[in-house]
Every structure is written in structure tokens, then in C-alpha cells.
Amino acid sequence: MAVLGLISLLLLQSLAVGTTFPDETIAEFSVNMYNNLRATGEDGNILFSPLSVTLAMGMMELGSRGTTLKEIRHSMGYDRLKNGLLKDLVSPRDFAAVTHLALINAVYFKGNWKSQFRPENTRTFSFTKDDESEVQIPMMYQQGEFYYGEFSDGSNEAGGIYQVLEIPYEGDEISMMLVLSRQEVPLATLEPLLKAQLIEEWANSVKKQKVEVYLPRFTVEQEIDLKDVLKALGITEVFTKNANLTALSDNKEIFLSKAIHKSFIEVNEEGSEAAATSGAQLFSPIASPFLDLYF
Ligand SMILES: *[C@@H]1O[C@H](CO)[C@@H](O)[C@H](O)[C@H]1NC(C)=O
């Protein structure tokens, strides 16, 4: 059900917009990371929280110096975050003379739909996956006024049309954005189009109208080692013996050995619940062999 990957990317993108981060930084980073995960991973769901990863790397940034620092700044676009949330959260002082550190960063979100789905309207549906296999899934249903739009991917296949729907949570500040390609068009044809700008265009172009919404009730859980993805995004030195983490520790041998990111999302009739934590493991051959960082 690759479609869920896109759903979650967009959900978390909207979550990020609800914070004090500049939208475009998160959106750009999300899309880059999504494309990298798609390129490096197997087929299947892609679930991650760009916000959690951004915060985690922001903490690494504070511990880094020299070219290690340059690489992180360049990939994450932190220059634009300087006056944002990150500055309020952590300061270089927090890392002074660190030899062993466990840093935890968790992002958690629970929201109720502004207009909830009635459980009695949920029915079991057959759902065709990209590999053409069928699964039975509980499909929620409601009719109402939602922001909706149809867009063209420029291809001739089935007119190249795909649908975008925004479902708001209570309070109207956060919404889930869903993208659905036509049944005969695999999601893979849409994915290459994904750009931060396009997400913005969707948000600006959808119009309020009466829509019949069918949405699967689902839970996705995923654990990814972000090492390869971060390397692909240009963050490489921090994973080598040349890592310059002198602002984090006096131990010059320290480097990042793993960057684990765990995320979870549940979407049901009432709304959704999502959580993410990122962890990084620092390796230092001298004093403490492993320095665990759980972001
Ligand atoms: C780390 O970077 C700083 C600032 O650029 C530099 O002075 C220092 O020599 C570097 N240290 C190591 C161990 O690479």
C-alpha cells in the first residue's frame, strides 16, 4: 500500500507547518528525504517524521564543527532555522564536556477530525496493491464539504488526473492532505513529481466542495536507519572517523555510527495519532565505546 507513504509524508508535512518552523524548509527537506528513501529502500510504506529528523540533526549540528558542521547545515537548510524553534530548544552549552549522552526527541501528535467518520459507515473493502495482490481493509466513509482538487501529472494515462483532498482536524490549524492517483495509474508515476512547491500548489488550489470520502482505517509502524539517506543528502563526514564533534565532546574520536528513526501512525474514525523518535548512535573507541543518542 504505497499510497500510505505519501499520505504520511503529507500528514507530517502539515504537522510541521503547525510549528514555528518555516514551512519551506521542512517541505523541501521532506521531499528530498522521501525521494531518497524511495530510491534506497524496497517497495512498501514509507513513514517518517521530517520534523523529528530535522530536530535530531539540529542537535547534531550544535555538536559539530568544521566541515562536519558545513555538511549538516547545507543539507538541512538550517540557516533559515536559526531564529526558529531549534534555538529555543537547545544551546551549545547543553553539550559542554559531554562524554556520554542520551538525547531523546520524540514527536507526538493526536488529533480528532473536525468531522469524524461514523463507525457504522465503515465497511470492509477489497484493496488492490501496486503488486496487484488484494487485501481486505476497513474503509471509512463520510460525505461532507472538504477542500478538494483534481490535478494533471501531464501524462496521457487515464487523462493523467489525480486527486488531492484535505481533511481538517479539530481547530482547523492542522489537516491531513491525501493524494490519490487513478486506480489504473500506479503511485510510482506520481512520486517523481513530488516537489515542495507542488505541495504548496495543492494547498493553494484545492476548493471547498461536497465530496464523498472513502478513507482506509490503518496503522503503519516503521523503523529506518537514516544513515544511507542522510549520506545521500550530503551528510557524510559525521559518519566517519573524520567527524568533527568537538563542540559535543572533548573526545576527538567520536563519530555517528547509526541514525535510527522510528515512527508510527494510526488513522481511524475519530482522527489520528502519530509518534516518532529518532535515535543516533555515536561511536567512540576510547572512553565509552558507544554513545547512544535517541532523538
Ligand atoms: C574542528 O573544527 C574546528 C573549527 O573549524 C577546527 O578548529 C578543529 O581543528 C577541528 N577539529 C578536528 C578534530 O577536526
3-state SS track over 40-89? HCCCCCCCCCHHHHHHHHHHHHHHCCHHHHHHHHHHHCHHHHCCCHHHHH
What residue owns the CA closest to ligand 1's atom 2? 66
Q: Where are the domain boundaries for CATH 2.30.39.10 in the chain?
A: 115-166+175-192+203-218
Question: How close is the Cα of 246 to the center of ligand 1, in Å?
Answer: 7
Q: How does pLDDT run across 209-225, given as a tens digit for each residue? A: 999 998 889 888 888 88
pLDDT at 286: 43
Over the Cα atoms of the chain, what is R_g?
Answer: 20
Distance from residue 65's CA to the centre of ligand 1 (Å): 6
Question: pLDDT class for 192, splitting at 50, 70, 90?
Answer: confident
Beta strand 123-128 with 290-294 is unpaired
Long-range contacts of 179-186 (CB under 8 A, 24+ apart): 179/3, 179/6, 179/7, 179/10, 180/3, 181/3, 181/153, 182/157, 182/158, 183/128, 184/157, 184/158, 185/153, 185/155, 185/157, 185/158, 185/160, 186/130
State the span(s) of the chain assigned CATH 3.30.497.10: 3-111+221-294
Higher pLDDT, 71 or 1: 71
| C-alpha cell belonging to residue 22 | 518555516
User: Which of 237, 240, 241, 246 to mutate to test ligand 1, by most ligand atoms within 8 A of the CB atom?
Assistant: 246
Q: Which residue has the higher pLDDT, 88 or 35?
A: 35
- Ligand 1 mean position, distance from CA 192 (Å): 39
Ligand 1: which residue has its CA nearest to atom 11? Answer: 244
Residues having CB within 6 Å of any atom of ligand 1: 65-66, 244, 246, 252
Task: Say how many Å lie between the CA of residue 2 and the centre of ligand 1.
Answer: 43
Centroid of ligand 1 to alpha carbon of 247 (angstroms): 9
Q: What are phi and psi of 42, to 5 degrees?
A: -80, 175
Residue 149 has pLDDT above 60, yes or no: yes
Strands 175-181 and 255-267: unpaired
pLDDT tens-digit series, residues 237-258: 988 889 898 887 777 778 887 7
Best probe residue, ligand 1, of 62, 65, 68, 253 (max atoms within 8 Å of C-beta)? 65
86 pLDDT higher than 60: no
pLDDT interval class at 49 (50, 70, 90): confident
For residue range 270-281, list pLDDT tens digits in order: 998 877 776 666
Pick the CATH number of 3-111+221-294 from 3.30.497.10, 3.40.50.970, 3.30.450.40, 3.40.1170.20: 3.30.497.10
Band the pLDDT of 37: cuts 50, 70, 90.
confident
| 23: Cα within 13 Å, side-chain hemisphere | 10
Distances from the Cα of 70 to the Cα of 63, 234, 242, angstroms = 12, 10, 13
Average pLDDT for the chain? 74
Report how far ligand 1's centroid is from the alpha carbon of 79 (Å): 20
Looking at ligand 1, which residue's alpha carbon is closest to its atom 4? 66
Question: How many Cα atoms within 13 Å fall on the side-chain side of residue 141?
Answer: 10
255 alpha carbon – ligand 1 mean position (Å): 14
10 band by pLDDT with thresholds 50, 70 and 90 = very low
Closest by CA to 250, choosing from 218, 217, 286, 214, is 286
Taking only the tens place, the pLDDT of each residue in 151-163 is: 987 776 666 788 8
Topology of the domain covering 115-166+175-192+203-218:
Alpha-1-antitrypsin; domain 1 (2.30.39)
Q: Which residue CA neighbors atom 3 of ligand 1 most closely?
A: 66
Atom of ligand 1 nearest to the CA of 242: 14
The pLDDT assigned to 93 comes to 52
- C-alpha grid cell for residue 128? 488492490
Query: 3-state class of 214 per DSSP?
Result: strand
